[in-house]
Amino acid sequence: MKITIVEPKDGEEDEIIIRCRHLDKRLMKLIYSIKAGEDKITALHNGNYFQVAPEEIYYFEAVDNKVFLYLEKEVYETRRKLYELEELFQGTDFFRASKSCIVNLAKVKSLSPAFHGRFEALMKNGERVMISRQYVPVLKEKIGL
């Protein structure tokens, strides 16, 4: 694989061009990581606003018409809707796990089957998140099962 870096002229926008014969999983993962790294989420915590990088987020959860993002030890609130976050992180490691939850698969330690066709995700911070049976086929495809 050949990598060429060209500095843009004044007034030109930064641009990444990928030329390949076959877009394999390795290249897709690289594209996803670049895409996820550019969008930070504005979140509220203890009355202050913060910019949170996607790689810090374990999962998003909607509760009582509010959306929370869970980090390793903290919980922040965001004004974005779950469907907006799903669109924003489409094609990345974030995955819709239920009607009220989006999980960052990069933060999943293990997955195990649960009752009634559901799966349970054990997150790297020790928390457990249920994956609804309607989203299990998408999960299996995403992780290559």
In the chain the domains, ranked by start, together with CATH numbers, are 25-143 (2.40.50.1020)
For residue 36, the SS3 value is helix
Half-sphere exposure in the Cβ direction for 6 (13 Å, CA): 9
Say which residue, 128 or 9, is predicted with more confidence: 128
pLDDT in tens, 82-97: 999 998 888 788 999 9
What span, in angstroms and rounded, lies between the C-alpha atoms of 72 and 30? 24
Length of the chain: 145
What span, in angstroms and rounded, lies between the C-alpha atoms of 41 and 112? 29
Average pLDDT, rounded, for the chain: 87
Among the ranges 1-10, 44-53, 89-98, which has the highest mean pLDDT value? 44-53
Q: Which residues contact 130 (CB under 8 A, 6 or more apart)?
A: 97, 98, 101, 114, 118, 119, 120, 121
β-pairing verdict for 101-104 and 94-98: antiparallel
For residue 18, name the pLDDT band (cuts at 50, 70, 90).
Answer: confident
What span, in angstroms and rounded, lies between the C-alpha atoms of 33 and 49? 25
Judged by average pLDDT, the poorest of 10-19, 26-35, 37-46, 67-76 is 26-35
Q: Which pLDDT score, from 0 to 100, does residue 91 have?
A: 77
Does residue 37 surpass a pLDDT of 70?
A: no
Q: Which of 140, 139, 106 is nearest to 124 (CA)?
A: 106
For residue 36, name the pLDDT band (cuts at 50, 70, 90).
Answer: low
The average pLDDT across 27-48 equals 78
